[in-house]
Structure 1
């Protein structure tokens, strides 16, 4: 007797068989459809940015639960946490000297929890840290981000160094998750709490990207002018889009695993 397949299984099987160009096209179409939906149901698009920060906070809470209850940091990238702490510290500095607001307090809370996670991985749970799997060389992203920040940065009236720091934290945030993805690529198996954490980062990044894109559309492009002139306004949007697409592939397999009833994700070769 032939087994009835779920619609999600049929769709995922069809997508998996498509060539890379078709998959990329489908990803773009899906993203555009999601943007249209968000624009229709969310009237104040500033709420998308708040939602992004809320989802990020949920992800960090899941991470803290994993460290405290399971007493293991297996599958987590210390280098990703260090990059996160780095761009948050720089962004906090920029907030204090350039535009202090409520987001400064939120960044301060996120930095504090990130430093705690780093402390737990480095000292309390060192025995479970997969150092051999966490082999991404962080200067591969720090140095290019610093160089790019020197070349392309805001054209505001602030001190030159502060403008470079601002650009640096924007660029570094876009690629800070790469070491975590490398760990998952090396292990091929992702346990639930780590998967939940990375998926929350993907959702947060998409909401943040949607916030900027919809704000630009609503202002008919005037927001780009408000951010400055030259390449900087475009680089802000590109950075948001890059963050989203870096995590898009993982999020696809996460959703597929959830609908398939799998508690542990198994990533095929070439993913992330």
Structure 2
């Protein structure tokens, strides 16, 4: 395991902690897309099917998989129950069936093997590359976000961005290249590019995160 993957996983864990802390401290899930959280739960449940037969092979990998699945499910639970009054279905309206359908089509067309596990794994990779779109769409519609929400999104984006040097590391030093994961990771990082720029020019300089509506 290399440093870039560890940093990516830590960034992912930080994003989860920030999100849960945001809801706990504000007693609200305002500004958070429920649709994005549901898409991420679909991603983890379809990608980590191997957890049932590889748990003893790597305690680190298995623990991370459990944390991602359970924490995302818990986040959705909180949003649908404890903080449901803060949900705004008039803003969180991105047509996610296009994302699911597109990811499913790519998974069927370009799997490494035509097995249930491999097709679902490919589906999870393509879906994760665009799962953040409902959240970014919400930001675009509202034109602003709480600072803690932007920190959550930055940590989540950094998690995927750090996986790009991880793949390069594995390619050059281990001879392993995964074209599906690499292309999907680049797509996801590009989707974050505008957000990263505004985060750097505004949030890190103490200004309010605002977008043109």
- TM superposition score category, shorter chain reference: over 0.9
Residue 88 (structure 1) aligns with:
44
Q: 1:173 aligns with which of 128, 153, 165?
A: 128
The SS at the match of 2:176 is: helix
Stretch of structure 1 that moved more, 116-125 or 78-87? 116-125
- State the Cα deviation string for residues 178-220 of structure 1 (Å, max 9, x = none): 111011011001111110100101111111111112321334x
> Which range moves more in the overlay, 85-94 or 183-192?
85-94
Residue 195 (structure 2) pairs with residue 243 (structure 1): no
SS in 2 for 1:93: coil
Q: 1:61 aligns with which of 17, 26, 33?
A: 17
1:43-75 per-residue CA deviation (whole Å, 9 max, x = no partner) reads xx7111111110111111111111112101110
- Taking structure 2 as the reference length, the TM-score comes to 0.92
1:144 to 93, 96, 102: 102
Counterparts of 1:106 and 1:216, CA distance in 2: 23
Residue 156 of structure 2 is matched in structure 1 by: 201
Q: Which has the higher contact order (CA 8 A, sep 6+)?
A: 2
- Return the alpha-carbon distance in structure 1 between the equivalents of residues 167 and 51 of structure 2: 19
Equivalent of residue 200 in structure 2, options 255, 259, 264: 255
- Which of 50, 56, 67 aligns to 1:109? It is 67
Query: In the alignment, is the contact (CA less than 8 A) between 2:160 and 2:185 conserved in 1?
Result: yes
> Residues 50 and 94 of structure 1: is their aligned pair in 2 closer, same or farther, counting only changes over 3 Å?
same
CA distance in 2, matches of 1:63, 1:212: 27
User: For 2:63 and 2:193, how far apart are their aligned partners in 1?
Assistant: 29
CA contact (8 A) 2:125 2:180 kept: no
Determine the structure 1 residue equivalent to 2:212. 268
1:245 Cα deviation after fit: 1.0
Question: TM-score, normalised on structure 1?
Answer: 0.73
CA RMSD of aligned residues (A): 1.8
Q: Which runs of 5+ in 1 are unaligned?
A: 1-44, 225-232
Alignment partners' CA distance in 2, 1:107 and 1:242: 23
**Structure 1 residues 97 and 242: alpha-carbon distance in aligned structure 2, compared to 1, 3 A threshold:** farther
Shift of 1:242: 1.0
State the structure with more CA Rg: 1
